[in-house]
Structure 1
Amino acid sequence: MPAEWPTTEALESALREITETRARHPEHVGELAQARTRRESVLGETGKALVIAADHPARGSLRAGADPLAMADRADLLMRLCVALARPGVTGVLGTADILEDLLLLGVLHDRSVFGSMNRGGLAGADFEIDDRFTGYDARSLVRSRFDGGKMLLRIDYSDDRSAPTLAACADAVSALADEHLIAMVEPFISTRVDGKVRNDLSVNAATTAMAVASGLGTTSAYTWLKVPVIGDGGDDMAEVLSATTLPTLLLGGEVAADQDATYERWSRALRPPPVRGLVVGRSLLYPPDGDVVRAVDTAAGLL
């Protein structure tokens, strides 16, 4: 375990204090949100952002690598997040209310941009998975918490009419966030069911189409950022996809890969096109194959 990690005793004590505060003084969460030191920009000194994503558990997506319940251990997840957020080059975090409020109570969100996850209703593996209802933050609560923006997942299945309400809800959210001058981080996919399971189409044509649809949502795109997967090896195919937009774009990290060095190479190539303003990565950095969160985060920060 890297020396930068909190000791088990310190973490257990902190978790007891979190639960005690939640039980006796829930108003303290809001007080801490108001007292949090905010960043002047969501971008770092390099003009790029490195945001740690931790909104997976609320959708029932708990797998990391070979462990199907890796993200279910809240103490372990929070420890990894604390380590990651303390590293140079990390600019922010993305999560649902429960996780972000735990981090507020741990005091680790100062000088970090914070993005609240807005729609987690499409539970992983459910028959209704494509119905990504808004079950998390809304624009009003993000303003109240003094956060920097909201993230929404937009999966479009042309054969499933449940995609239409998600499109409408995302458009409304983009407009509401823009009214408050908050970033709307949209993660779009063209999706389909294969053997009953939702699968995202990562072809150039599908990725380009998804970006085009997402870019036009809402009454203004002034505050819209895109969050997109790395297509192919991150080179020519990715450059072609990114040529479809002028919106600031962040690359998502995806699943934990056995060959982490190859993943870094793909990210490095995909970071070159002008629209790309950084990375939003969760499991690949929090649960790297070698277990060294510090090395994984520092390597990603070095790419920026």
Structure 2
Amino acid sequence: MSSVSISDLVAVRARHPEAIAEAAAVRVRRPLVGESGRLMIVAADHPARGALGVGDRKLAMAHRGQLLERLVLALSRPGVDGVLATADILEDLLLLGALENKIVMGSMNRGGLAGAAFELDDRFTGYRAQDIERLRFDAGKALLRIDYDDPGSLATLHSTARAVDEMAARRLPVFVEPFISRRDADGTVRNDLGPEAIARSIAIASGLGGTSAYTWLKIPVAGNPDEMEWVCETSTLPVVLLGGETNGDQEGAYEKWRTALRMPTVRGLVVGRSLLYPADGDVAAAVDTAVGLL
């Protein structure tokens, strides 16, 4: 991995903050979906939610220089289409010149901080539709966790619907990541990864807003291949698979992704920590393997 100079980035931010908008204005863009019809997006929007851990390393993503080095390397690999992140990270990547001819996806709601009492009242504290349009970025992403016992979920549901409308009005794609969630006895939010819950979340997310023309879904792999097949039949919206934690079983995760990518609605992968922080430390090999699945 090539080294990233934090001091250089800080100097530009301090002396010439306009450089960010200038870099965005001249960035070379590309269509959302290329000739392959597939998408391989690297995700790095976890830190803004206070989620810095990878496996048993609680602060793995806290070192910004190392995170940027891993992102620059991942984006340089053949077949990687783009990145999903919050403003601070995307702006660093802009200044580093790493976003040329890449899909840039802005993370929109980051207010539901990990472990907070208000976690499910997930406010849109990140990118707005007008920000994504102004910066000439390519898409947005919204997390939609629905807990039937938490009134905060209704606020998130409503604000996500309005974000779908605002993005569609600008003809910008928005990737909605829905879950049916619940709190454990200790207050920890858990996402239900069973096929029935995923199918229900897909049905809810697909109906948000005044049009679904620009809506994509970002969903986990459900159960076995037969279950995943009928889960994907819940909607005709294009789907990307989220990576999530592999719990040390990287090969098992690859096999699940490989099988799910055969489903007709599945168009690609959005994977973060398991590629940026693989157990063996080889980011390039992990990214190349994931690209190979497409």
Distance 1:229 1:282 in 2: 13
**Residues 257, 284 of structure 1: 8 Å contact kept:** no
Is 1:87 the counterpart of 2:71? The answer is no
Confirm or deny that 1:244 pairs with 2:234. Answer: yes
CA separation in 2, counterparts of 1:78 and 1:28? Answer: 18
- 1:239-262 deviation per Cα after TM superposition (whole angstroms, max 9, x unaligned): 111010110100000014312111
**Residue 222 of structure 1, aligned match among 201, 209, 213:** 213
Q: What stretches of structure 1 of length at least 5 have no aligned partner?
A: none
Structure-1 residue corresponding to 2:146: 156
CA distance in 2 between partners of 1:43 and 1:269 (Å)? 21
SS of the equivalent of 1:240 reads: helix
Secondary structure of residue in 1 paired with 2:73: helix
Aligned partner of 1:197 in structure 2 is: 188
Distance 2:66 2:74 in 1: 12
- The yes-or-no answer on 1:19 pairing with 2:18 is no
Alpha-carbon displacement from aligned partner over 1:249-302 (angstroms, at most 9, x marks no partner): 000000143121111000000111111000000001001111100000000000
- CA deviation digits over 1:35-58, x for unaligned, max 9? 10001x222442100000000000
Instruction: Work out whether residues 202 and 217 of structure 2, in 8 Å CA contact, stay in contact via their aligned partners in 1.
Output: yes
Matching residue of 1:109: 99
Partner of 2:27: 36
Q: Distance in 2 between matches of 1:61 and 1:44?
A: 32
Query: 1:162, 1:259 → 2: CA distance?
Result: 34
Amino acid aligned to 1:24:
R
Distance (Å, rounded) in 1 between the aligned partners of 2:247 and 2:101: 30
Q: After TM superposition, where is structure 1 displaced by more than 6 Å over at least 4 residues in a row?
A: none
**CA deviation vs aligned residue, 1:211-246 (integer Å, no higher than 9, x gap):** 00000001100000000011124x111111101011
- For 1:71, the equivalent position in structure 2 comes to 61
The secondary structure found in structure 2 opposite 1:226 is strand
Give the paired residue count.
293
| Residue aligning to 1:299 | 289
1:229-268 correspondence to structure 2 within 5 Å = 229-233=220-224, 235-268=225-258
How far residue 30 of structure 1 moved from its aligned partner, in angstroms, is 0.3
Provide the alpha-carbon RMSD of the alignment: 0.8
